[in-house]
Amino acid sequence: MKPHLIVLDLDGTLLTDEKVISDTTLNTLKIAEDQGHHVMIATGRPYRASEVYYRQLGLQTPIVNFNGAFVHHPNNAAWKTIHETISLPVVNEVVDALQQFPVQNIVAEVMDDVYMHYHDEKLLDIFNFGSPQITEGDIRNHLQVDPTSLLIQAEEQSVDAIRRHLGEVHAEVIDHRRWGAPWHVIEVIRHGLHKAVGISHVAKWMDIPQERIIAFGDEDNDLEMIDYAGVGVAMGNAIDRLKSIADEVTATNNEDGIAQVLRERLHLN
């Protein structure tokens, strides 16, 4: 069988609810690699929060972070890194506009530097993963460079209104996604970016055609990736919209759904 590119989202897909890779899935991925296939990660997480899984899998492929805004090869410094940022003036305009909404917090990330509008112990626990440099205070005063992404945490009932505003006012320069429960977070990145854009760069570099890409996901930031892949697989715990466009729906992230598909599709021994 010709080599396939296996693309894995992390949260809710490769990782169980306990944020670990099950032994069954890990062993199946190793078998796939042994038989000539390639494995890569495509996640909304920054690299610092995904490196532990990259290393656990022993990957030798590029990785897509920040939903396509950052694509690089951790083991190959010569690989041309892709880093697409949001214009700082646009970020400041968005932060200004958010003052009219009941926003709980705004977080900007510049690679591994984190800017947090308001102090929040729970968010600090999340963003401290990988020991980034964290700056607290009004983002408009502290952020001096174009960020990789912007996160808006709001009350659940305000999320749709904020997204409508972003779509009406800034649609030409930014795209936005909603995080899965329990977080009521809107993630903002540069317009035109998503996981499929990053994966297409990697697939071209690896000379693997679209029809030999198998991608797994569960949330709305996986929609383009699942649609783009030759075989787009929605996890059993995926949102309904993703299941509706997927080529296949497998078992959940807690039931080794990835391993089940790979064994069948790639005839793994």
Active site residues: 9
Beta-carbon contacts of 121 under 8 Å, excluding residues fewer than 6 positions away, are: none
Determine contact, residues 239/212, Cβ cutoff 8 Å: no
Phi-psi region of 68 (alpha: psi -120 to 50; beta: other; left: phi over 0): left
Determine contact, residues 189/86, Cβ cutoff 8 Å: yes
Q: Where are the beta strands (DSSP E) in 142-202?
A: 149-154, 174-178, 185-190
User: The tokens 């793994």 sit on which residue?
Assistant: 268
Cα torsion through 234, 235, 240, 242, rounded to 10: -30
113: three-class secondary structure by DSSP? strand
Cα Rg for the chain, rounded, in angstroms?
18
